[in-house]
Structure 1
Amino acid sequence: MTSMTEHTEKKAAGGAWEVIRVVIHALIIAFVIRTFLFQPFNIPSGSMIPTLLVGDYLFVSKFAYGYSRYSFTFSLDLFGNRVFKIGPLPFNGRVLASQPERGDVAVFKLPTDNETDYIKRVIGLPGDHIQVQGGVLYINGEPVKREPAGTIMQPDAYGTERPVRRYKETLPNGVSYYTLDLYDNSPGDNTRDYLVPPGHYFMMGDNRDNSTDSRFLGQVGYVPFENFVGKAEIIFFSHEPDASLLAVWDWPWVIRWDRFFTLLN
Structure 2
Amino acid sequence: MARRRREKEHGIFRELLGWIVYILIIIGLSYLIITYVGQRTMVSGQSMEPTLSNGDNLIVDKISYRFRDPQRYDIIVFPYKYEEDTYYIKRIIGMPGETVQVIGGYVYINGELLESDIYGAEPMESGQLADQPITLGADEYFVLGDNRNHSSDSRDPSVGVLKRSDLLGRAWVRIYPFDKIGFIRHE
TM range (shorter): 0.7 to 0.9
Displacement, 1:204? 0.7
1:65-111 CA-partner distances (Å, limit 9, x unpaired): 22xxxxxxxxxxxxxxxxxxxxxxxxxxxxx6x32111111112335
CA separation in 1, counterparts of 2:164 and 2:16? 46
**Does residue 207 of structure 1 match 2:138?**
no
CA separation in 2, counterparts of 1:112 and 1:55? 22
Q: Where does residue 161 of structure 2 map in the other structure? A: 222
Q: Where does residue 112 of structure 2 map in the other structure? A: 142
Contact preservation (8 Å) 2:105, 2:126: no
Greater strand share, structure number: 1
CA separation in 2, counterparts of 1:8 and 1:44? 55
Q: Where does residue 102 of structure 2 map in the other structure? A: 132
Which one-letter code corresponds to 1:226 in the other structure?
S
CA separation in 1, counterparts of 2:75 and 2:124? 25
Secondary structure at 2:173's aligned position in 1? strand
CA separation in 1, counterparts of 2:35 and 2:24? 16
Gaps of 5+ in 2: none
Which one-letter code corresponds to 1:180 in the other structure?
A
**Does residue 234 of structure 1 match 2:155?**
no
**Does residue 57 of structure 1 match 2:57?**
yes
CA separation in 2, counterparts of 1:10 and 1:101? 58
CA separation in 1, counterparts of 2:183 and 2:64? 18
Greater helix share, structure number: 2
Secondary structure at 1:14's aligned position in 2? helix
Displacement, 1:185? 6.4
Displacement, 1:260? 1.2
Displacement, 1:206? 0.7
Secondary structure at 1:221's aligned position in 2? coil
Contact preservation (8 Å) 1:111, 1:227: no
Q: Where does residue 80 of structure 2 map in the other structure? A: 110
The 1:106/1:185 distance shift into structure 2, 3 A limit, reads: closer
1:29-62 CA-partner distances (Å, limit 9, x unpaired): 1111122222222212221111111222222222
Q: Where does residue 249 of structure 1 map in the other structure? A: none
Which one-letter code corresponds to 1:133 in the other structure?
I
More off after superposition, 47-56 vs 201-210 = 47-56
Gaps of 5+ in 1: 67-95, 146-169, 172-176, 239-255
Displacement, 1:257? 2.1
Displacement, 1:193? 2.2
Contact preservation (8 Å) 2:77, 2:169: yes
The 1:48/1:140 distance shift into structure 2, 3 A limit, reads: same
Contact preservation (8 Å) 1:114, 1:227: no
Aligned length: 185
Displacement, 1:210? 0.8
CA separation in 2, counterparts of 1:223 and 1:199? 8
Q: Where does residue 46 of structure 2 map in the other structure? A: 46
Which one-letter code corresponds to 2:110 in the other structure?
N
CA RMSD of aligned residues (A): 2.6
Q: Give the TM-score of the pair, scaled to structure 1.
A: 0.61
Contact preservation (8 Å) 2:106, 2:124: no
CA separation in 2, counterparts of 1:8 and 1:34? 39
CA separation in 2, counterparts of 1:185 and 1:117? 23
CA separation in 1, counterparts of 2:184 and 2:47? 18
Which one-letter code corresponds to 1:178 in the other structure?
Y
